[in-house]
Amino acid sequence: MSRKAQAPKGTFDILPADSRARERVESAAAQVFARAGFGRIETPVFEDTDLFHRSVGETTDIVQKEMFTFDDLGGRSITLRPEGTAAVCRAYVEHGMHKLAQPVKLWYSGPFFRYEAPQAGRYRQFHQIGAETIGSDDPLADAEVIMLLSDLLAELEVPGVKLHLASLGSPDVRAEYRNELRTYLREHEDKVSGDVRARIDTNPLRAFDAKDEPTKGVMADAPKLIDRLSGEDLEHFGEVRGLLDAAGIGYEIDPTLVRGLDYYTRTVFAFTAEGLGAQSEIGGGGRYDGLIAELGGPDTPAIGWAAGIERILLALGEPESAERSDVFVAVAEPEQRAAALALANELRHAGLVANLDLAGRSLKGQLKQADRAGARHTVILEGDGRATMRDMESGDQREVDVARLPDELAEAR
Ligand code: HAM
């Protein structure tokens, strides 16, 4: 026998039973965005590799070890998108969106790719919903996008959601702070992990992400960037906090919140949920005031976030979405099968969810099938224009007039 084909490591199929819960998340997001005036954008699933080097950053884990990069047949280096912000900014610059009324508010939903060690909540192909407000440095823009994700998670009833908030200040403050942190890490070099030691020069901030106890101990006493904020950065952060307070959105200041992307400036945030284990972050984002200019556009401040659909579903306990249909059209005699198809079609046109037997089952088999399809009612065509309607829950049966069926079933919904 041939070897059984399998999906690639870290990927999964979305089967019909899983897609109902997913659709609920996507349609809730679409509504939240539409109500807030965000327009949908779709960018290609692959981009020139250079885009991610320039935006996500050379020293990040994503660029160093998590990208699916390959040469296409024309010899161009291509990368499957590991995140969405870079491409949205590329599109903003490419289409001259700075000429539109600012800010431009965009949202997206789709697959992303990272070569990570797979585990619950971490996949090599996963799906994000994301939002970007481009062209405003107003703290209101920060509060608005945070509020959107908070609302979406509340609407979906994700349990145990917590918002973590920090500010990274502007690039020069961060550069100065990075030096201070380097000095501190060198003083404690013997206690931190090899991984952290190797990155003291290139990316000292990542030390806050370390999971080993000795490094965590060292980092607990390390100087914090949030204590170095001053002037306009501090004022901006204070205003964002004030707006969240006024909106009744609870948060926790998290001085160790570092995000795995280099483009962030000022506000950064992450939403976590209960019961997700190591992958507790459901979504996160922040400001990236320098990115558009970095990609060849005018100086344009921006802020956004992305949330993982699989993480949301995990946090919700991925409820088994039982199949539900309004009616199953069964036949007493095989001669009625064409009439059953016509009736199912008519009922579908009337907006009902209608199913029928496609396997030539006996009447008993059809009723069993109706049960499995979660049908509320089964209509049995008896021939001579006669039909019986059976309530699948109570088992009650009665004769019905086929012409009145759409109305009767709609009333019974
Ligand atoms: P990120 O934190 O890298 O940010 O990813 C956002 C979310 O995507 C995470 O919180 C998580 O829920 C989900 N996620 C990331 N990697 C995986 C994975 N391997 N498997 C499953 N889910 C995953 C960004 O991507 C930024 N572009 C967000 C942003 C938008 N910042 C500003 N604008």
Residue 94: the pLDDT is 98
* 6 residue type, one letter: Q
**pTM for this model (two decimals):** 0.89
Q: How far is CA 171 from CA 12, 176, 178, 284, in A?
A: 39, 9, 10, 20
At a CB cut-off of 8 Å and minimum separation 6, what does 170 contact?
232, 233, 265, 266, 289
Collapsing DSSP to helix, strand or coil, 303 comes out as strand
Which residue has the CA at smallest separation from atom 6 of ligand 1?
A: 306
Q: Pick the atom of ligand 1 nearest to 130's CA.
A: 30
Mutate which of 11, 66, 83 for ligand 1? The one with the most ligand atoms within 8 Å of its CB, which is 83
Residue 323: the pLDDT is 67
Q: Pick the atom of ligand 1 nearest to 83's CA.
A: 25
State whether the beta carbon of 142 lies less than 6 angstroms from ligand 1. no
Question: Please, what is the average pLDDT of the chain?
Answer: 94
The answer to whether residue 168 scores a pLDDT higher than 60 is: yes
Q: Residue 210 corresponds to which tokens in the numbers above?
A: 């370390």
Measure 118 CA to ligand 1 centroid, in angstroms. 15
Buried b (16+ CB within 10 A) or exposed e, 10-38: beeeeeeeeeebbebbeebbeebbeebeb
**Across 164-169, average pLDDT:** 96
State whether the beta carbon of 127 lies less than 6 angstroms from ligand 1. no
Measure 342 CA to ligand 1 centroid, in angstroms. 47
Which residue has the CA at smallest separation from atom 12 of ligand 1?
A: 308
Beta-carbon neighbour count of residue 342 at 10 Å?
11
> What are 299-330's pLDDT values in tens digits?
999 999 999 999 999 999 876 556 678 999 99
Instruction: Specify which residues 70 forms β-bridges with.
Output: 78
Mutate which of 52, 123, 311 for ligand 1? The one with the most ligand atoms within 8 Å of its CB, which is 311
Which residue has the CA at smallest separation from atom 5 of ligand 1?
A: 306
> What are 100-118's pLDDT values in tens digits?
999 999 999 999 999 999 9
State whether the beta carbon of 123 lies less than 6 angstroms from ligand 1. yes
Q: Pick the atom of ligand 1 nearest to 270's CA.
A: 10
Collapsing DSSP to helix, strand or coil, 390 comes out as strand
Rounded Cα distance, 67 and 346, in Å: 50
Measure 305 CA to ligand 1 centroid, in angstroms. 8
Measure 215 CA to ligand 1 centroid, in angstroms. 25
Percent of the residues in the chain that have a pLDDT greater than 70, as a whole number: 99
Q: Pick the atom of ligand 1 nearest to 121's CA.
A: 21
> What are 215-238's pLDDT values in tens digits?
999 999 999 999 999 999 999 999
Instruction: Show the DSSP H helices in 199-316 as ranges.
Output: 213-220, 231-246, 291-294, 309-315
State whether the beta carbon of 139 lies less than 6 angstroms from ligand 1. no
Measure 256 CA to ligand 1 centroid, in angstroms. 18
Measure 36 CA to ligand 1 centroid, in angstroms. 22
At a CB cut-off of 8 Å and minimum separation 6, what does 105 contact?
36, 37, 38, 39, 131, 132, 133, 134
Residue 220: the pLDDT is 92
Residue 116: the pLDDT is 95
Q: β-strands 125-134, 104-113: how paired? A: antiparallel
Percent of the residues in the chain that have a pLDDT greater than 90, as a whole number: 83
Which residue has the CA at smallest separation from atom 10 of ligand 1?
A: 283
The answer to whether residue 298 scores a pLDDT higher than 60 is: yes
Rounded Cα distance, 85 and 132, in Å: 7
The answer to whether residue 200 scores a pLDDT higher than 60 is: yes
Q: Residue 343 corresponds to which tokens in the numbers above?
A: 């009736």
The answer to whether residue 271 scores a pLDDT higher than 90 is: yes
Buried b (16+ CB within 10 A) or exposed e, 173-205: bbeebeeebeebbeebeeebbeebbebbeebbb
Measure 128 CA to ligand 1 centroid, in angstroms. 7
The residue with tokens 């949202």 is 107
Rounded Cα distance, 312 and 158, in Å: 7
Residue 143: the pLDDT is 98
**Across 271-294, average pLDDT:** 93
Three-state SS for 139-203 is HHHHHHHHHHHHHHHHHCCCCCCEEEEEECCCHHHHHHHHHHHHHHHHHCCCCCCHHHHHCCCCC
State whether the beta carbon of 25 lies less than 6 angstroms from ligand 1. no
Rounded Cα distance, 253 and 245, in Å: 13
Measure 284 CA to ligand 1 centroid, in angstroms. 7
Q: Residue 156 corresponds to which tokens in the numbers above?
A: 């979906």
State whether the beta carbon of 173 lies less than 6 angstroms from ligand 1. no
Give the relative orientation of helices 139-155 and 16-35 as an angle to the nearest 10 degrees. Answer: 140
Cβ burial, residue 250 (10 Å; 0-12/13-18/19+): exposed
Collapsing DSSP to helix, strand or coil, 44 comes out as coil
